[in-house]
Amino acid sequence: MKQLLKRDLKSTVEFPRLELIIFPTLLIFVVLSQIVAWGWGGTDSVVDRPQILIQAIADASRLIFTYPVVIIFIPLIIADIITNEYEKGTMLMLVSYPVKRSEILLSKFLSVFSVSWAVIFFTSLAGVLVVYKNHAMYPPLTLVLALIISICILSFSVSSVSTLISTITGHAVVAAMGSLMVLLL
Amino acid sequence: MEVIIAEKLEKNFGDVRALRGLDLAVPEGVFGFVGVNGAGKTTTIKILLGALRPDSGAASVFGYDCAKESLKIRQKVGVLHEKPSFPKSTTGLDYLVFVAQLYGLPLIEAKNQSKRTLEEVGLFNVAKRPIGSFSAGMMQRLGLAQALVGNPDLIILDEPTANLDPIGRSDLLEMIRKLHADKNVDFLISSHILPELQTVCDHVGIINNGVMLVQGKAQEVVRKHAGHIFKVSVSEPETFLDLIQRSELVEETRRIGDIIWVKAKDATSFQNYVIEMAHRKKLGLSLFQRGDLESALKNLLEANKDD
């Protein structure tokens, strides 16, 4: 199980996947932090009109950019984790070794889950800063906990759907598109 | 004791009837699983490993049921599939360590065992190279290594000599012999390259269209089904053909290049006749071979086509 997980994690972040994950993540992070930095100056002062607008943009961008982008990217990039094994022909090798089918599936699921968790965490960091600044009534610890739990829920659903679709279709593209459709619904 | 027993295996892929009631009994030793392309060899192997469910019939390996206890089977079996494929970016050594650990070896032992196996198959000097850079022959050797690395009791080889050069082939046959002699490892070798298979197999089974035609001791099968077939090569083929056709000792002759296939009516008298004639008429006899596995297979396939 440990070896399988190691192997799956490695293949999940292998070239070109790693690059496909890192660059959009960085981009989102940079854009959102710019917005945060822009709105940094006057939050403590009296909230005037442009300030509200900036806050609105920042809050909205957290919702609009981060989660949908993540929901689109994660299936596109890692939904083929199982179909890939069939396409490369390594699945037959894998099921010939003394491992249970459930272990193979679980390790795939866990690697998708952890990678998507990390991606969502980093892309939503900037958004969290916005929330922290604008809703200072939340204590930081509560905020961090809320963040971790909500990311868990989101990445769990994203990776379950991706793994499921990847299991029942034969092609990587179909798998990615299928999980995208299900998630957007 | 039988290592593998299969009874009335049937498997359909849509309209294609891959197996039509295959019976298989593999005793200890080296078993040659012979058949033309598409005869059902690979399907049978997949069923034995629990990777496919048969539509009907049952099979067992080491007494474990293939459908229910395939995990126990796979712990004792090493497999080389027909077209082995590997993750391209890992190195050969890392992959073998991974496989050895799946077979339950602790890390340090897995590393030592992998290095030993790489040395055995002749890949030690490329152990640290990524698998993507391997040649086809190296891949085949690595496939062999991953079948050996878990110390299995039974090794299933599906077309093991594909992509191997002549030296690789004789190395492989030597390794099979050695493993069987030293560690008492049993083998199921599926192949259609028969001259090589014949040199290592104790038992053979000939399969065609998903049915087992014959199985038994290799020598007996060959004697029974190709005992009257001869392969002859002489420096004066025309004279020779003319001579034997007039002798009324032969049923059928066929000339393929320099080699003449002869189906004799009576093996012993034909043998004596050819040796006598070769001596008397100076035919320049360079090859005179009585029936091999290949002739047995051809003969059986022809006989079954008539039915």
Q: Does ipTM come in above 0.90?
A: no
* Two structure tokens written together for B268: 């012993």
Can you say whether the dihedral through the CA atoms of A66, A72, A78, A81 is positive or negative?
positive
**What is the percent of chain A with per-residue pLDDT over 70, rounded to a whole number?**
48
Contact B87 A11 (CB under 8 A): yes
User: Across all residues in chain B, what is the average pLDDT?
Assistant: 84
Contact B102 A98 (CB under 8 A): yes
The residue among A97, A93, A8, A11 whose CA lies nearest residue B85 is: A93
Examine the pLDDT at A45 and tell me if it is beyond 50: no
Q: Which of B52, B73, B74 to mutate to test the interface with A (most CBs of A within 10 A)?
A: B74
Per-residue model confidence as pLDDT tens digits over B95-106? 999 999 989 889
Q: Does A11 touch chain B (CB under 8 A)?
A: yes
Residue A140: its pLDDT value, please?
Answer: 65
**pTM tops 0.80, yes or no:** no
Contact B102 A3 (CB under 8 A): yes
Give Cβ neighbours of residue B28 (< 8 Å, ≥ 6 apart): B1, B3, B184, B186
Q: Does A3 touch chain B (CB under 8 A)?
A: yes
Q: Does A96 touch chain B (CB under 8 A)?
A: yes
Residue A42: its pLDDT value, please?
Answer: 43
Instruction: Find how far residue B242's CA is from the centre of its chain.
Output: 37
* Two structure tokens written together for B141: 């050797």
Per-residue model confidence as pLDDT tens digits over B274-306? 777 777 777 777 777 777 777 777 777 777 775
The residue among A148, A76, A78 whose CA lies nearest residue A113 is: A78
Q: How many CB atoms lie within 10 A of CB B6?
A: 22
Shortest CA gap A17–chain B (Å): 13
Shortest CA gap B120–chain A (Å): 21
Q: Which residue has the higher pLDDT, A60 or B225?
A: B225
Q: Does A14 touch chain B (CB under 8 A)?
A: yes
Contact B74 A96 (CB under 8 A): yes
What is the per-residue burial (b if ≥16 Cβ within 10 Å, else e) of B70-94?
Answer: bebbbbbbbbbbbebbbbeebbbbb
Helix (H, G, I), strand (E, B) or coil at B215: strand
Contact B103 A98 (CB under 8 A): yes
- Comparing CB atoms, the residue among A11, A14, A96 nearest residue B51 is A96
Burial level of B142, CB count in 10 A (0-12/13-18/19+)?
buried
A69-78, A97-106, B161-170, B292-301: segment of lowest average pLDDT: A69-78
Q: Which of residues 8-67 of B touch A (CB under 8 A)?
A: 46, 49-51
Per-residue model confidence as pLDDT tens digits over B245-278? 777 777 777 777 777 778 777 777 777 777 777 7
